[in-house]
Amino acid sequence: MERMVLIPDMNNTTSNGFAKPPESYWISSIPQTNFPHLEEDVKVDVVIVGGGMTGITSAFLLKEEGLTVAVIEADQILHGTTGHTTAKVTSQHDLIYYKIKSQMGQEMAKMYADANETAINTIASLIERKKIDCDFYRSSAYVYTQDDKYIQQILDETNTAASLGIQAFYLVETPLPFSVKAAVRFDNQARFHPLKYLIALANEIPGNGSYIFEHTRAIDIHEDKYCHVVTNSGKRVTADKVVVASHFPFYDGYGYYFSRLFPYRSYIVAVKIKGEFPEGMYISAEKPVHSLRYQNTDDGGVVLIAGENHKTGQGKDTSVHYENLKNFAQKIFEVEDIPFRWSTQDYTSADEVPYTGHLSSKTPNIYVATGFRKWGMTNSTASSIILRDLIIGRENPWKELYNPSRFTPGASAKNFIVENADVAKHLVVRKLAAVPDSDDVDLNPGEGRVVEMGGQKMGAYKDEQGRLHLVDTTCTHMGCELQWNSAEKSWDCPCHGSRFTYDGDIIEGPAQRRIKKEIQEQ
């Protein structure tokens, strides 16, 4: 339904019309962490590279089993994808169960359902046991469609999920303020504040021989009798076992993850609306995907509206995605303000099931967890349980499904071929695309693009003070040509998802080296 729109005060707006630059509500609403960086070599039972939900949960569970652990985080813990989520604690992951059943079999679909339902209950149990105040709230989750061609898919998903023991129901209407053609509802799901939850777990990790190290980048792993994780300072963490939970594996170990993981960005606006938001969490079956859910804040409730996903480094004017979400919100609700907006990056595996287990058949003491798609809250928790069980020698019922070395040609062949053809295209055209000679770089403040100066292709950005920042646009991971991301003011790799600041520093991997800064300012 169409509504009259209240426009926020734009007297103090950014160049794209929003009142503030992108900022995650989750990160802005908690105190900053202040764990030390690694200053001397240490030895533990298990070292975990990556301080997101997987890393923190795995470390917590392993320490509860009596092992000593060290978490190594290149930035601050919980500031990566975990700090930029929609924070739906749900086993409903788009229309996934019928797909898994059709391509991998009923048994594998049952494993996926059990793993993610167990993850919901594990989070709820830890919150209750540790008395964590993190806005945890049980809620139903819906997938809806306004397109006739998705009706049968939703019916198939409902029947499959119900056959797997999930409380799933087929509907022809939802509490949303617009009509739908069909929907599936999963009951007894949840939402929460992920960083409040995870900081409570993180605070229990250091001590008695265990550690969390921030601003410490792992750059390599050496294996002999023990595993040695080498950091950017030259200091090492030695351990019997290593968990690579760095979103994209920083260490490949002959797992060839660069050919099996595909990066996508999506966007979120947090809107204040006039009136009440209907209880529930919602996501559309059709594209562009729109996800909606409510969140309490100290300044009143907001509705998180997410979607507009695209392959990293391959959006055109990426700032338009925020604008599209704002327009979608204004068509449905009376929008009073947009206090927060942010984007995130997720990696999808070839068959859309995460890779969790041994990094490869050649690395018996190195483990990995990655490829959660957009559903990291439960998949990271399930993965942490799998990793704990593998490391302590306990049998796990889901390890076969999540095994990174699994062979699923029926489920993965199409994605593998299409996505890697796309990567090859961007590698081939790396330096071939011509750009106009622009020795006189004519950019507006806040604008960036690829230019040519003195016959050399460069990335140029002019900041709000009029200073020019020039970088080499070759990704230091595998040499793809970086693209300008106008929404986040970054240089993004269209092949494997590495991202860099306009001055060349790494925002997220798999790149381990910054890009060359040609000229600091002009």
Q: Per-residue DSSP letters for 152-183?
A: HHHHHHHHHHHHTT--EEEES--SSSS--SEE
Residue for token pair 């859309």: 352
pLDDT for the residue 455: 73
pLDDT for the residue 110: 98
Helix (H) or strand (E) holding 40: none
Distance CA 458, CA 448 (A): 11
- Give pLDDT tens digits for 453-497: 777 788 999 998 888 999 999 999 888 889 999 888 999 998 888
What does the longest C-alpha to C-alpha distance in the chain come to? Answer: 68
Q: Is the pLDDT of residue 438 over 60?
A: no
- Give pLDDT tens digits for 301-340: 999 999 999 888 876 778 899 999 999 999 999 999 999 9
pLDDT for the residue 453: 76
Residue for token pair 């939900």: 53
How would you classify the pairing of strands 69-72 and 236-244?
Answer: unpaired
Distance CA 48, CA 69 (A): 7
pLDDT for the residue 521: 44
- Structure tokens that stand for 331 in this block: 């068509």
Residue for token pair 């483990």: 367
Q: How many residues does the chain have?
A: 522
Report the half-sphere exposure of 245 (CA within 13 A, side-chain side).
Answer: 34
Angle at 58 between CA 57 and CA 59, to 5 degrees: 90
Helix (H) or strand (E) holding 148: none
Q: Is the pLDDT of residue 218 over 70?
A: yes
Distance CA 193, CA 345 (A): 19
Q: Where are the alpha helices (DSSP H) in 52-144?
A: 53-64, 97-104, 106-130
Distance CA 395, CA 390 (A): 7
CA dist 146 → 217, 279, 440 (Å): 46, 19, 50
DSSP, residue by residue, 268-333: EEEEEEESPPPSSEEEESSSSPEEEEEE--TT--EEEEEEEEEETT--SSTHHHHHHHHHHHHHHS
- Structure tokens that stand for 413 in this block: 């062949």
CA dist 458 → 91, 293, 321, 517 (Å): 44, 41, 25, 10
What spatial distance separates the first Cα and last Cα of the chain, rounded to whole Å? 50
How would you classify the pairing of strands 366-370 and 236-244?
Answer: parallel
At 407, is the pLDDT very low, low, confident or very high (cuts 50, 70, 90)?
confident
- Structure tokens that stand for 107 in this block: 């048994």
Angle at 363 between CA 493 and CA 123, to 5 degrees: 70
Mean pLDDT over the full length of the chain:
90
- Pick the most confident of 75-89, 413-427, 479-493: 75-89
Angle at 414 between CA 411 and CA 417, to 5 degrees: 130
142 near 178, Cβ under 8 Å? no
Report the 10 Å Cβ neighbour count for 39: 10
Spatial CA neighbour of 346 closest among 319, 308, 311: 311
Q: Is the pLDDT of residue 11 over 50?
A: no
At 442, is the pLDDT very low, low, confident or very high (cuts 50, 70, 90)?
confident
